[in-house]
Structure 1
């Protein structure tokens, strides 16, 4: 005798109940399966670009980083390193630490989705996971505890992947205890 369940052994109400669950099962399968959904629409070029940049930014830690530098940068001076001038490096500061992200120009350069972080200390935006220009400021004191954790995670992420080239020296008083 086979241990497999066969539809012929089920009562009519049981078969109807199973058939009623079929759409739910298909939805859950397509929603959580690694396979593309049958109803999924093709990605737009913008979505493909964003997905590529997200994968691009999530590279593994580097083992060839230079020793950290402690060169002083003022916030105004940092603006020169926003990627607009291709002859200059691209810098991103987090909690006052200045990182050289030039080798990821395709992510932080002009017209790229994370360019808003280039040439500034955008700690608040990183903590909030925000791409709003008004959040791209160094004052992160208004972040709640979970957002501060996100900010610390970003700082750790950058420390393992980008050379530290300096420190912002004219952060407002909120940063005195960093």
Structure 2
């Protein structure tokens, strides 16, 4: 059990590092995380789930999304008592595996029509050459990384949506979940 939790924590850490190093434009320098504004942890979690829901709608095929919750993590080297990021890992399994065939190309075309900038698209370095897509939404201050695991049984999409860096309102504390 600890190994599975450790592997998940490592995956989240890698995904957050990969995603938040991208080009959401109001970062002061290339090493800092973009500012997402002021929010409580709960409100930010609702926002990241709303962004995930919008991406789900863009997938546009019948299937089932996992029912995973959002999480809260530290925001780079900023004060962890005042600053945080939220992330929402989830997966999508189509009703029929053939339906996933062109979904990544469709997402590459549709995401920019909804304010997203695709910053990475193509096969990964695994032996299965899973297709991955990374996109940033500067207006929403969120990024998404999507992996298409075509050779899994069943084939599925894995998604990680992550926010920019939030600051809690004056007098509030970061709630971790």
Q: Scaled by the length of structure 2, what TM-score is found? A: 0.24
Ranked by relative contact order (alpha carbons within 8 Å, sequence separation 6 or more), the top structure is 2
Higher fraction of strand = 2
Q: Which has the larger radius of gyration?
A: 1
